[in-house]
Structure 1
């Protein structure tokens, strides 16, 4: 039954999108077709809800049940959008994510991208005003594009907010390198072979190399003795042996990493 519901979702959702675009463009569609499409969507949602309840009764957790019903790429994309919106709230509240542990040091990396992100957001605002004026005579199109344009502005600000509120974090267990709301990789200290300050402004795509550029630049290069597994935006695993990232205080991050790698082991207590 899960396969049937998923196949129906793949067929109905694109059809529903086409129907919405046609209605927004003023195409006349028979009322029976619109009613049938809406009834099919309601039936699909009901089947999804029924399967969700059955999976929960069988002991599956909330996330497990959702992943069984929805393809992982869709779940990850929706999760990414939600993290961007939450980042806006954290940005306003000045509450960084995952940087408050005891003994942890955080290293921001969003300063050098702020100017062009604000510029991009301003361009989106201007485009929103322009489209609102041009489509004033078409109320349906005006409403659709207004929602899309406002969401685009929030999306752009959310991208920057995610970078601001998700700094790199160094603690006793390892280094947590991040980029926006889509990259979050923990590198154990014992797997760091070397670290150096290395400003780079061009990056070739290489196997086993993770480039986390900010404003097209990286400044910290971390060479690993053993690979760690990063996860791409849509969920594909990616083994990494070298990480290039950026930090506002790149030299300070390199020095802190070197000290953490060479910190003396605790002295063992007397035998019992």
Structure 2
């Protein structure tokens, strides 16, 4: 239950930041999901109005309206989560994110090499663990890979994988650049 409460709080913070247009620098990963999320939002909004108009019982209509509006707010919050929580690079390492649901930090001293390369995954989970490989899957795919010094692999999706890999390689000056 506490996990869902944490999601709830992060959803409201993401929504607030998106509405306030709080700038967030980093590398986005929403391109494959953007149309789908907007389609769900539009369909849900139409469904909310339709149910309000066709339900003849005032109490049932009120309950359905409240639940439908709350569901719409959540969908906007999820969309906001993807928009305001990009992957980010700082002096300490890289933060790989999946909206407000998942975040993993990789310190620079753990990064062995990085490369771009698209992979498709049959399981479309947000976080997929297969042995020493953890994949943060967006729309069934990943396109950036980080190999760590402890022989683990972290795969994730970025809208501009080549730009992200180039930025990561610039942060690893003592290591030779990887070949893509």
TM-score after normalising by structure 1:
0.58
In structure 1, distance between residues paired with 2:69 and 2:114: 42
Unmatched segments (≥5 aa) in structure 1: 1-73, 100-105, 228-240, 265-272
How far apart, CA to CA, are the structure 2 residues paired with 1:194 and 1:75? Answer: 36
Using the alignment, how far apart are the partners of 1:221 and 1:182 within structure 2?
A: 20
Question: How many residues of Structure 1 are paired with residues of Structure 2 in the alignment?
Answer: 170
Note the C-alpha offset of 1:168.
0.8
The question of 1:156 aligning with 2:80 is answered: no
Which residue of structure 2 aligns with residue 246 of structure 1? Answer: 157
8 A contact 1:201–1:216 mirrored in 2: yes
Matched, 1:215 2:105: no
User: Greater CA radius of gyration, 1 or 2?
Assistant: 1
Root mean square deviation, CA, Å: 1.9
Q: Deviations over 1:81-126 (max 9, x none)?
A: 12112211211222146x5xxxxxx112223311111011111112
1:190, 1:261 within 8 Å by CA — same for their partners in 2?
no
In the alignment, what sits opposite 1:188?
A: 107
> More relative contact order in 1 or in 2 (CA 8 Å, sep 6+)?
2
Q: CA, structure 1 residues 242+85, in 2 after alignment: closer, same or farther (shift >3 Å)?
A: same
Pick the aligned partner of 1:112 from 32, 41, 63. Answer: 32
TM-score scaled by length of structure 2: 0.86
- Compute the displacement of 1:217 (Å): 2.1
Q: 1:127/1:242 Cα in 2 relative to 1: closer, same or farther (>3 Å)? A: same
User: Distance between the aligned counterparts of 2:131 and 2:70, measured in 1?
Assistant: 35
Match of 1:167 among 67, 86, 92: 86
Q: Structure 2: how far apart are the matches of 1:130 and 1:207?
A: 47
Give distance in 2, aligned partners of 1:191 and 1:259.
Answer: 15
More strand by share: 2
CA distance in 2, matches of 1:207, 1:96: 36
Distance 1:200 1:152 in 2: 32
Distance 2:84 2:18 in 1: 6
Q: CA deviation at 1:215?
A: 2.5
Q: Which runs of 5+ in 2 are unaligned?
A: 176-180
Check the 8 A contact 2:146/2:154 in 1, yes or no.
Answer: yes
User: Post-superposition, which runs of at least 4 consecutive aligned residues in structure 1 deviate over 6 A?
Assistant: none
**Alpha-carbon distance, 1:153 to partner:** 1.0
> 2: distance between equivalents of 1:212 and 1:89?
25
